[in-house]
Amino acid sequence: MLLKPLRGGRFGLGIFSPSTIIDARMNYLNELNEKQQEAVLATEGPLLVLAGAGSGKTKTITHRIVHLIHAGVAPRNILAVTFTNKAAKEMRERAMDLIRRFPGSARSLDDGSVLVTTFHSLGVRILREFHEAAGLRRHFTIYDRADSVRAIKAALEATGYDPKEFEPRKILSMISRAKGDALSRDDFADSAASYPERVAAEVWERYEERLRDDHALDFDDLLLKTLRLLQSNPAVRQTLQDRWRYIHIDEYQDTNRVQYEIARILAGERRNICVVGDIDQSIYSWRGADIKNVLQFEKHFPQAQTILLEENYRSTKTIIEASNKVIEKNKNRVPKTVFTQNDTGEKITLFAGFSGAHEAEYVAMSAKKLIETGAAASDIAVLFRTNFQSRALEEAFLNMDVPYQVLGVKFFERKEVKDVLSYLRLALNPGSTADLARVINMPARGIGPSTVLKILEGKRDELKSAVLNKVEAFDTMMMDIADSARTEKLSQTLKFIIGRTGIEMHLKKNGTEEDLERLENLRELVSLATRYDEMGPEEAVEALLEDAALQSDQDEIKDKEEKDAVRLMTVHAAKGLEFPYVFITGLEEGLFPHQRLDEKGIDEEEERRLFYVALTRAGKKLWLTYAHSRVIYGSSGVNLPSSFLSDIDETLLEIDGAAKGRGQERRGGLLDDWDDDLPTISL
């Protein structure tokens, strides 16, 4: 058979013989278990598929699509929506492969193609097709986040507010969250309870003016404008409801209010909507995801059918039992018990290091042993709760010559780290123009590009007095930093830079998830610097800068040349991925679960769901690690093991004591204050 991929996330059907079709109809359902078959065959009316981790949800969706085609549904009448381009690509390829092996009904030949896409791509498609009805140009511009931040900054200034007082990213975050909740600017303004929210409402108006002037939409507009179009234009609404008669929504637990409303409207009176998700893997509330969309599906779509996919094909019985024990402690969920017919597998290894560095060394050494015994490096994943943890891990993997790849930005390549190192370099090398240009207005202190250019050109005498005063204040600050760099321990100098430059106040004031992550990375930089404190001050600065440069270069080479490499990533980044071998690190109270539970309103149940996601990434073998002490912001303290660990039955664990045979100290095993539910290990 000929399969013809088409543009725009579609795939089409080629020509095949009726005899092939008959054979296909007899065989393709045999690839599914009983519950998967039930979901595939339930084609009419609303359907909620609660799919446990590793239960084959993508397989189920793709088979359902092919089954609809076999039943005579025109491919062009089928829509499948997910959240990422990667997920859409995978679903599209698997559906295409299935169609190759099991060609569909002759009645579907030459009758369009299935659309598999993301929510945002769907919004772009609809708005471009119906641009006149939406009041848009056909070729409107799409603002990325950087464009939006710049536009918000301009809107702040135009409204009379100081961008240094009201951080543009924070204002944008408030507007974005409101758009995701399907609120208009007026709705948001009416409900604004705080002064920053009232400022955001006022700035929003100017921001929209800027978008209109540029004939642009931001990411949130792609969905909100689509929803408004569907709500206000009956002709467009009917056209799309008739076009997509069978709708599939993947990762439904991650949908926000706007995405739910779009799906509900497109389903229309036919209500042929199939949503697939897992409440236990809902980890994006901070992005606006609303778990109630799953919990209230049967209320939103009366007479909906619910099917549980509970058989896991990924993990061993040991890993599944442990993950079940963890997640069953959550109350806000639909009860289900994931099971597997896989082997029992190895016990979960629990390791406690003396320190964060010791923990990292253990992980790197364990990964190296796996590779030496025949495992592919790319089959190994190391997961952590927050980005700063990657620094010690990167160093350990480099020292042991274990190929690795960081998913995300490597520690010394992170903006905030590079900013502080630039201040450090500039303090001892005032002639470094690149460092000067990088930090002279970071954080913003009213020194613009034209001023910087004049400084670099040696034209300070041309500066106006107000600007010159700002530049001289910067010079004074740099002299203070230089004095510290020449006389104080390196860790103290870095603390001084972070405070004296205003970086710490800037990040704390913004208070966004991203900014707090940046602050944690800077604290990790200070912790790293303590190892250089025994050197002379200037020697320590040179050693740190050299080490940072060399590690960055080496990491870059590894990223380009080492395709078979251990993956280092946050748990959030690991969502949707799977690996035979997984290490979950930093399992300490205050780190995982995170200490910002109270101060940032992070849901404890969501933290537990995040741990569940981490556990269920593993197929063959799982390691859980923590450190008795971890240096954070230059200070070391004793850590309590994560409370989540006490949820795992002791019979599923094996203890890899870090200090076995090294005296009477109870280090490297379990602490004396370990939860009573777990055994006490004597070393």
Q: Which phi and psi angles does 424 have, rounded to 5°? A: -65, -45
Catalytic annotation, pick one of 35, 36, 58, 425:
58
Show the low-confidence residues of the chain (pLDDT under 50): 1-8, 12-24, 26, 106-110, 552-562, 597-602, 658-683
The per-residue pLDDT for 635 is: 67
Contact residues for 155 (Cβ-Cβ < 8 A; gap 6+): 203, 204, 206, 207, 209, 210
Sign of the C-alpha dihedral computed for residues 311, 312, 317 and 321 taken in this order: negative
Distance CA 287, CA 5 (A): 33
337: left (phi over 0), alpha (psi -120 to 50) or beta: beta
C-alpha 555: how far from chain center: 22
Q: What is the DSSP string of 488-512?
A: S-HHHHHHHHHHHTSHHHHHHHH--
Helices (H), 562-603: 571-574
The question of whether 598 is a catalytic residue gets the answer no
The question of whether 660 is a catalytic residue gets the answer no
The question of whether 165 is a catalytic residue gets the answer no
Distance CA 653, CA 350 (A): 7
Catalytic annotation, pick one of 225, 617, 666, 667:
617
The per-residue pLDDT for 9 is: 56
Contact residues for 631 (Cβ-Cβ < 8 A; gap 6+): 355, 356, 527, 530
Pairing state of beta strands 566-570 and 348-353?
unpaired
Catalytic annotation, pick one of 60, 253, 259, 281:
281
191 contacts 270 by C-beta, under 8 angstroms: no
Distance CA 65, CA 71 (A): 10
- Residue 235 tokens, joined: 């002709």
In the sheet that 10-11 helps form, which strands lie side by side, from edge to edge?
5-6, 10-11, 114-118, 78-82, 246-249, 273-277, 47-51, 305-309
The question of whether 58 is a catalytic residue gets the answer yes
Catalytic annotation, pick one of 220, 250, 261, 359:
250
Taking each helix axis as running N to C, give the angle between helix 465-487 and helix 537-561, from 0 to 180 degrees, rounded to the nearest 10.
Answer: 100
Distance CA 110, CA 87 (A): 26
The per-residue pLDDT for 121 is: 86
Contact residues for 16 (Cβ-Cβ < 8 A; gap 6+): 1, 103
Distance CA 173, CA 506 (A): 16
Catalytic annotation, pick one of 202, 218, 221, 251:
251
User: Beta-carbon neighbour count of residue 29 at 10 Å?
Assistant: 16
- Residue 503 tokens, joined: 């970086």
Block residue for tokens 């495992």:
375
Cβ-in-10-Å burial (0-12, 13-18, 19+) of 22 comes to exposed
Catalytic annotation, pick one of 35, 57, 170, 630:
57
Contact residues for 207 (Cβ-Cβ < 8 A; gap 6+): 151, 152, 155, 175
The per-residue pLDDT for 11 is: 54
Pairing state of beta strands 635-638 and 629-632?
antiparallel
- Find the length of the chain: 683
Cis before 103 (ω within 30): no
Q: Which phi and psi angles does 171 have, rounded to 5°? A: -60, -45
User: Beta-carbon neighbour count of residue 401 at 10 Å?
Assistant: 8
243 contacts 218 by C-beta, under 8 angstroms: no
76 contacts 112 by C-beta, under 8 angstroms: yes
- Residue 623 tokens, joined: 């390691």
Stretch (H or E) spanning 97: helix 85-101
- Give first-to-last CA distance, the chain, whole Å: 65
Q: Which of 577, 604, 582 is nearest to 593 (CA)?
A: 604
- E strands, 255-314, are 273-277, 305-309
Block residue for tokens 């092939």:
20
Cis before 196 (ω within 30): no
The per-residue pLDDT for 619 is: 96
541 contacts 428 by C-beta, under 8 angstroms: yes
614 contacts 586 by C-beta, under 8 angstroms: no
Q: Which of 396, 477, 382 is nearest to 436 (CA)?
A: 477
Q: What secondary structure letter does DSSP report for 550? A: H
